[in-house]
Amino acid sequence: MNRKKATLVTLALILCIGIVSASFLSYYAKIDTTVNVAQGILVDGHGYETPIEETVDAFGGRIVYTSHTIENLGDKEATVYFSWESNDTEGIDVTYFVNQATLTLENKDSTTWSIISDDTKATLTYCIIGDAFIYKLVATGLAPSTEYSLIYYADFEPEKFTYWGGNNPGAFIAEVTSDEHGYVSTSGNVDLGMDLPSSPDANIAIYDYSDAPDFYDHAHGAKIWLVPSTDYDGTKLTAWNPDNYLFETDLITYLDLGVSTHLLHPDPEIVTEITIPSHSTVSFVIRFEFTPDAIGTYLVTTTVSPTD
């Protein structure tokens, strides 16, 4: 082979080697991330590893309640499903409902008791069962920088307009102060030591509000008012200035688990599942209902599960 031909062969080999060894990168780097995911739905502040145990006393023919919370730590709403099983299913029924209700308070025409349509109003969100009355109050359109009392106003029977004041028995719930714009936003809990309504409040059974001007959902229950503290001495109203008050638009029921010997009337809506908004806590109640002939020890297990 002459030199010229050898040179051409060598050059061809070099070009082939260059073509074969050239390529594209399939990645620039690899990142390995270990993500430790904690449980995002907690019941009574606990995860699935921690058993939740409680003991309640009951009689045959009675209904008893226990209250619990579900917290959603995630960024999306979550729906949970309730189911139960027991060592003995004879003589017992177990149901669930959301332990929360909302009441609107409005200023009213004191002649017709119809609602005045304006921005002066309040929203009271509260738990309907518990060892304490847990509430959140948001109000607008109040007198600026003024102290108000949130009260349970209980009517007297039979002369509620003569023997007024609301202390039959009535209860002071909280005192709040509006800001310079007449706005209030507050929350808390108070041990009332009584159910709402509580005897001898005539609104338990004597007076019927089914024909109230603003169409109450419930004919019987407790009245909740927001009144200037200057008209309330901590026990009863001492003056009557209804144009400055926010009145109930329905009658409510609250069951104090610490003292109650009564059933919850009216019964709330029974549910089999609850949706919890993101970064929120929802309270729920387990209701145990026993037939008159029930006796013995029931071990009831409630399972809170994700829905399918």
Residue 226 forms part of a structural domain: yes
Strands 280-290 and 63-72, sheet pairing: antiparallel
Residue 19 forms part of a structural domain: no
Residue 120 forms part of a structural domain: yes
Residue 94 forms part of a structural domain: yes
* Tokens standing for residue 150: 């949130």
Cβ atoms < 10 Å from Cβ of 248? 25
CATH number for the domain that contains residue 222: 2.60.40.200
Instruction: Give me the number of domains the chain comprises.
Output: 1
Instruction: Please report, in tens digits, the pLDDT of each residue of the chain (308 residues total).
Output: 555 555 544 545 444 555 556 788 999 999 999 999 999 999 999 999 999 999 999 999 999 999 999 999 999 999 999 999 999 999 999 999 999 999 999 999 989 889 999 999 999 999 999 999 999 999 999 999 999 999 999 999 888 878 889 999 999 999 999 999 999 999 999 999 999 999 999 999 999 988 877 789 999 999 999 999 999 999 999 999 999 999 999 999 999 988 876 778 778 889 999 999 999 999 999 999 999 999 999 999 999 999 87
Residue 2 forms part of a structural domain: no
Tens of pLDDT, residues 98-139: 999 999 999 999 898 899 999 999 999 999 999 999 999 999
Cα 160 to Cα 26, 153, 163: the distances in Å are: 85, 11, 5
The domain of 143 spans: 40-308
Alpha helices, DSSP H, located in 40-154: none
Residue 12 forms part of a structural domain: no
Q: Which DSSP string corresponds to 153-194?
A: E---SS-TTTS-SS-SS-EEEEEEE--TTS-EEEEEEE--SS
Residue 74 forms part of a structural domain: yes
pTM (2 d.p.): 0.82
pLDDT on residue 13: 46
Residue 16 forms part of a structural domain: no
